[in-house]
Amino acid sequence: MTVDEDSPLSFSGKIWRPRIEVDDSHRQLTRECGLSPIFTPIIAHRQLADADKIEQFFRPLLKHLTDPSLLLDMDLAVARLIKAIEAEEKIAVFGDFDVDGATSSALMVRYFRGLNIPIRVYIPDRLTEGYGPNSEAMRILAKEGITLVVTVDCGITAFEAFETAAELGLDVIVTDHHQGREELPKALALVNPNRLDDPFPNKELAGVGVAFYLVMALNRELRDKGYFNHRAEPVLKDLLDLVAVGTIVDVASLTGVNRPLVSVGLQVVQEHKNIGINALMEIARIKGTLSAGQVGFQIGPRINAGGRLGRGPLGSELLHTEDVARAEEIAAELEDANRERRALEDKMLRQAMNRISGDGLSSSGRTLVLAEHGWHPGVIGIIASRISDHFHRPTVIIALDDDGKGKGSGRSIPGLNLLAAIEECNDLLISFGGHKAAAGLSIESANLEQFTAAFEKAVVENNPPELFSPAMTYDGKLQIPDVSLETVGRLERLQPFGRGNPEPVFLIENVRVMDARAIKESHVKCRLVDVYDNVLDTISFRVLPGALGEGLLTMGIWVDVVGSLSINRYRNRETVQLILRDARPAKEHR
């Protein structure tokens, strides 16, 4: 990793690194496309190798989606679904209890409703059944007369459940996106871009994205068979609001096919066709255009709250109900659950931080593993995320039950493959699964000490030491005269921002802080002035109290800064401002 030359720690205690090193080919491509040099590192980071790729990135369209039949087993899945439709079989959808699962199952309900076919939705109880398909659920569905089960956002490791399903005469179609293993469960079809044997080029689909690909393929085949000759065809675009919400909240990469799916999906949200999303926006007091950030931090936690506290079906029902009163009722219930979740989270976080401080864990290694009786298994993922962010360490939080077993949730740091590290400890675990950035596990409490040591060893041996230093990455350097409304307007076209497509961050060197003042006790607003008296307005959010805010309030100080550019729209007037994320003493004035 390259560290910015002569980089001291910043006011917030971080070193700064360029996100990527650019070469002459990137610079040449930027010029050929008529773009400002500001875009060169952005193009390089997103691996946009030619003008067509750049155009697709700036103008994401649904016509750029990959053919769903390229997914292994997709045609098998579609053929079985058509057989079920023609024979009027009873179909069930088995979904996960998180946002990705809720949006996936709601998408299936809404699509089949468009065919005038009711389907059964089964969401397991997080606290009593745990994650993924289970044998008892298969027995319940079989007793109800279900003959075909479609999983969404789960199933790629459900070996025992699907053996039970086969014994009961249930056919199972798996749609999932979690990492597959060499051995696959026995199912009629396994549709998952992350099967080890699947060459499908877009590995970053969320579970809801895979579910949408299934209905795309099914709808196409039904059309080809003349199914819609005498009945209305569902409008698939109307389902993309759910795809956008599930993909954003699951922190899937907003590149490749996810980019048009989410970009168009957020546009569909603005049409207010989904009364469940409307109810959530109302209760969260979101007005106007819904941004990816608002989906991730305001909409997602509310949908998730039910599943975290043992009310998993609520999120899915909210997103597919057509009853306005019922949607408002569920949204209010989820709001209450979210408040309850926050109170529980605050209590557990204090306990965890006290453990870390009291035991001196923050400086004793590269990883953090905490286990405790009484911790709520529905909240441990949030706690792991908060602690990982605070200490910049891969973190596993484990809730222990009275039977000597623990449910764990882990979160990583940028550049570290958490799932690979956990997999190296698999002989100490009952089960595990997940992604590079987040994973879950089950463990016997007797193995906790060994797991803690093995996890630390796996992380240390497979990752460079500099990965564990808190860092701020920036895309490129610029000077104040480089900034214009036109350029920032083009940067806004890169939205929606998220994993894989981070909001561009720029370094501006050797500027003086002027007119600095605190806003609402926690923010700092100031002006940056360069040596030629060029001026740029800035605001830095939630930096007081703290070293960064206090440093910016030191009048007249010369600094280097990093931040993102935005257009401040106020009273019909547009001006450019820098959202300042960090600062350090300027090199020329150290």
CATH code of the domain covering residue 371: 3.10.310.30
Could you tell me if residue 450 is inside a domain?
Answer: yes
Structure tokens at 539: 């605001």
Query: Are residue 79 and residue 216 in the same domain, yes or no?
Result: yes
Q: If you search the block for the tokens 């057989």, which residue do you land on?
A: 83
Q: Which residues of the chain have pLDDT under 70?
A: 1-7, 362, 589-590
Q: Are residues 317 and 249 in the same domain?
A: yes
Of 415, 446, 468, which residue constitutes the final position of a domain?
Answer: 468
Q: Is 352 part of a structural domain of the chain?
A: no
What pLDDT score does 1 carry? 44
| The pLDDT of residue 91 | 98
Residue pair 524/550 in contact (Cβ under 8 Å)? The answer is no
pLDDT for position 555? 73
Does one domain contain both 505 and 585? Answer: yes
User: Pick from 320, 335, 350: which residue ends a domain?
Assistant: 335
- Say how many C-beta atoms besides its own lie within 10 A of residue 286's C-beta: 16
- Residues 493 and 370 both lie in one domain: no
Looking at the structure, tell me whether residues 277 and 168 fall in a common domain.
Answer: yes
Query: Do residue 166 and residue 35 come from a single domain?
Result: no
Statement to judge: residues 365 and 325 lie in one domain: no
Q: With contact defined as beta carbons under 8 Å apart, do 557 and 513 qualify?
A: yes
In a domain, 532, yes or no: yes
Within-domain flag for 533: yes
**Which of 468, 503, 520 represents a domain boundary (last residue)?**
468
- Please state, in angstroms and rounded to a whole number, the distance separating the CA atoms of residues 80 and 68: 16
Amino acid at 407: K
d(CA 218, CA 66) in angstroms, rounded, equals 15
User: Which residue range is the domain that position 549 belongs to?
Assistant: 15-44+475-589
- How many domains is the chain partitioned into structurally? 3
Q: What is the pLDDT of residue 6?
A: 53
Rounded distance between C-alpha atoms, residue 118 and residue 242, angstroms: 19
- Classify residue 412: in a domain, yes or no: yes
Q: Are residues 275 and 410 in the same domain?
A: no
Domain CATH for 23: 2.40.50.460
Q: Please give the Cα distance from 31 to 544 (Å, whole number).
A: 41
Peptide bond into 185 cis (omega under 30): no
Q: Alpha-carbon distance 361 to 369, whole Å?
A: 9
Give the pLDDT score at 360: 76
Are residues 180 and 254 both part of a single domain?
A: yes
Question: Do 428 and 313 fall into the same domain?
Answer: no
- Domain contains 158: yes
Q: How far apart, in whole angstroms, are the C-alpha atoms of residue 498 and residue 496?
A: 7
Domain assignment present for 51: no
DSSP H helices, 284-391, are 292-294, 300-308, 313-320, 324-359, 380-391
**Which CATH number goes with the domain that contains 270?**
3.90.1640.30
Three-state DSSP class for residue 541:
coil
φ and ψ at residue 133, rounded to 5 degrees: -60, 145
- Residue 7: the pLDDT is 58
526 and 377 both lie in a single domain: no
Nearest to 345 by CA among 307, 404, 293, 385: 385
Predicted confidence at residue 348, as pLDDT, reads: 94
Q: At what angle do helices 240-249 and 207-224 cross, to 10 degrees?
A: 160
Question: Quick one: 522 and 565 in the same domain?
Answer: yes
| Contact residues for 524 (Cβ-Cβ < 8 A; gap 6+) | 516, 517, 518, 539, 540, 543, 544, 549, 552, 553, 580
Q: Cα(573)–Cα(299) distance, rounded to whole angstroms?
A: 30
pLDDT reported for residue 130:
77
Confidence (pTM) = 0.88
Residue 350 resides in a domain: no
Sheet with strand 91-95: strands edge to edge = 120-122, 91-95, 148-152, 171-175, 189-191
Query: What is the SS3 assignment for 447?
Result: helix
pLDDT attached to residue 425: 95
